[in-house]
Amino acid sequence: MTDADAVRRVGLALPRSYEVQVRGRWKLRVGQIVYVAFSHDETEMGFGFPKAERDGLVASNPETFYLPGESDLRYQWVCAHLDRLDTAEMRELVTDAWRMCTPKMLHDLPEMREPAMAAYGFLDAGEYGELRPLLHPYLHFEDGAVSLRGRTKVLDHLRAHGARPPTDVEVRDGQIYRWTRRVTEN
């Protein structure tokens, strides 16, 4: 069993995600794309879900899931009663809905060890003061041809050039000790 506050905690921890109120209803967005919306009383939520798979989801548990109103059937959207969702299922649905509206390079962040997702979120937002305590003083940073050691050097590089999210992290003492971005060839 879950509720709207639990959904918010999951959704707002995801990079580029924010909450807005539209016509009295709270929604989670990335950019201008809504990926979760609550009913007025916050007992139900709609969320992004692939059209091709939504009939199967609703059929698998019609007590929990249902299709949106007829005018919204054109969208990739499904609705659920929050009191019938367990926390793990809610987390998966919200994260997958977020993935539908974010670049693929961000998709692995929710599965990485903490604090990787938060660190990249601060980096992406340019909040270097918030990022600093999440990085180990002896940080090893590798991104393609760039290889740096030390938190200060890495922060200077990030301020000047930015970075894509890591493909792998090593965490020590609750801080990122190794940030690796492997370059893949297609």
Average pLDDT over residues 26-55: 97
Distances (CA, A) of 79 to 5, 15, 39, 128, 146: 17, 23, 10, 37, 45
CA angle 97, 133, 182 (to 5 degrees): 55
CA angle 10, 14, 15 (to 5 degrees): 165
Task: Tokens 């659920």: give the residue.
Answer: 80
Q: Strands, E, within 13-127: which ranges?
A: 17-22, 25-30, 33-38, 44-48, 65-66, 77-81
Q: Does domain 4-102 have CATH number 3.90.1150.30?
A: yes
pLDDT in tens, 48-103: 999 999 999 999 999 999 999 999 999 999 999 999 999 999 999 999 999 999 99
Continuous segment of H or E residues that includes residue 146: strand 146-149
Q: How confident is the model at residue 184 (pLDDT cuts 50, 70, 90)?
A: low
Predicted structure pTM score: 0.91
Task: Name the pLDDT band for 124 (thresholds 50, 70, 90).
Answer: very high
* Architecture label for domain 109-181: Roll (3.10)
Integer Cα distance of 112 and 116 in angstroms: 6
Q: Are 45 and 79 in contact (CB under 8 A)?
A: yes
How far is the C-alpha of 81 from the C-alpha of 58, rounded, in Å? 12
Pairing status of strand 25-30 against strand 33-38: antiparallel
**Higher per-residue confidence, 180 vs 185:** 180
Per-domain residue ranges of the chain? 4-102, 109-181
Sequence-separated (6 or more) residues with CB below 8 Å from residue 126:
none
